[in-house]
Amino acid sequence: MPTFQEAFGDVSAALAQHFGRPPSHFEGLEPFEAMIAVLLERKAGQTRWKAALEGLGAAGLLVPERLAEVEIIEIRDAVREKGPILSAKALAPLRHLARWLVEHHGGRVDSLFNPDRSTGWLRGELAAIKGIGMTDADALLLFALKRPSYRVDRATYRVLVRHGWLDPTATYDEARDALVDQAADQADTLEEDAAADLAELAHGMEQLGRQFCRAAAPHCDGCPLEGLLPEGGPRGGDD
Ligand code: SF4
């Protein structure tokens, strides 16, 4: 059975061939809008985040300085105007993120693209913002800031464990680092290439988890990774 390092290129290629390129959800958004969109997608879901973002835009709240100073109830009402009803708890991280940007970066998202600020440093900063943990930080880095990171979802975890590429006791960071390190190796250290590869991989893994590698049981027949199964079939990896 190939090691994860040996198989990484084949996994990426098989998923890209089967599931295609990821949808460009956040293309065309300004960087701050994209960061808020990523958080809204996590809070409101894939079908409702766009309406929520439109509500914030219509209320003039897609500006860090404005979002940082308004009351949560105003944010909630703006979202509800065009989108879902979200709780104050779900919306508070948006304001915390805006405040962090204003207080530490003069409200300028472009400061986060500065290559002198490493992805690891930025990850720690984002994850330390109230209401934004490591998983949100990884999603923000990859999808809004185009940095090489990865939000390890349950589908990715199942696939890696069932193929014997990840120990079932591995921590979130160990799983995330294994993926990011392999993408960096493949991309020959070009950060933007590694980020694009990881975004494509995330899309493929998500689809794989829905269509083949389900939580209850894997459906390996016809799966794009069937040829990379370990001897004897999948290993335990149920949620
Ligand atoms: S369904 Fe089977 S072949 Fe496909 S990823 Fe899961 S364990 Fe691998």
pTM confidence score: 0.92
Residue 28 has pLDDT above 80, yes or no: yes
Residue at 76 is within a domain: yes
Residue 15 lies in a domain: yes
For ligand 1, say whether the CB of 225 is within 6 Å of any of its atoms. yes
Q: How many domains does the chain have?
A: 2
Q: Is residue 191 part of a domain?
A: yes
The answer as to whether 85 is a domain residue is: yes
108 and 80 in one domain? yes
Identify the CATH number of the domain in which residue 64 sits: 1.10.340.30
Q: Domain range holding 14?
A: 4-22+150-228
Q: What is the pLDDT of residue 23?
A: 78
The answer to whether the CB of 95 is under 6 A from ligand 1 is no
Ligand 1 centre from 155 Cα, in Å?
10
Say if 237 falls within a structural domain: no
Q: Which of the four pLDDT bands, split at 50, 70 and 90, describes residue 188?
A: low
Which two three-digit tokens encode residue 137?
Answer: 């930080």
Domain end call among 86, 110, 144: 144
226 lines ligand 1 (CB under 6 A): yes
Domain boundary among 94, 119, 144: 144
- Mutation pick for ligand 1 pocket among 18, 166, 208, 231 (CB with most ligand atoms within 8 Å): 208
Distance (angstroms) between ligand 1 centre and the Cα of 44 equals 29
Q: What value does the mean pLDDT take over residues 101-115? A: 94
Instruction: Specify the CATH number for the domain of residue 211.
Output: 1.10.1670
State if residue 219 touches ligand 1 by the CB under 6 angstroms criterion.
yes
The verdict on 37 and 138 lying in the same domain is: yes
Rounded Cα distance between 113 and 115, Å, is 6
Is residue 161 in contact with ligand 1, taking CB distance under 6 Å?
A: no
Average model confidence (pLDDT) across the chain: 93
Q: Is residue 239 part of a domain?
A: no
Q: Are residues 165 and 192 in the same domain?
A: yes
Cα–Cα distance between 114 and 39 in angstroms, integer?
A: 22
Reported as a single tens digit per residue, the pLDDT across 189-221 is 567 788 989 999 999 999 999 999 999 999 999
Per residue in 47-88, pLDDT (tens digit) is 899 999 999 999 999 999 999 999 999 999 999 998 899 999
**Do residues 120 and 149 lie in contact, with contact meaning Cβ atoms separated by under 8 Å?**
no
Q: Is 212 in the pocket of ligand 1 (CB under 6 A)?
A: yes
Q: Work out the average pLDDT over 130-155.
A: 96
According to the model, what pLDDT value does residue 187 have?
66
Residues 12 and 109 in one domain: no
Nearest-Å Rg of the Cα atoms of the chain is 19
| 10, 220, 235, 238, best to mutate for ligand 1 pocket (most atoms within 8 Å of CB) | 220
Which domain-ending residue is among 112, 144, 176?
144
Q: Say yes or no: CB of residue 159 within 6 Å of ligand 1.
A: yes
Does 208 contact ligand 1 (Cβ within 6 A)?
A: yes
Q: Say yes or no: 90 and 106 in one domain.
A: yes
212 Cα nearest atom in ligand 1? 1
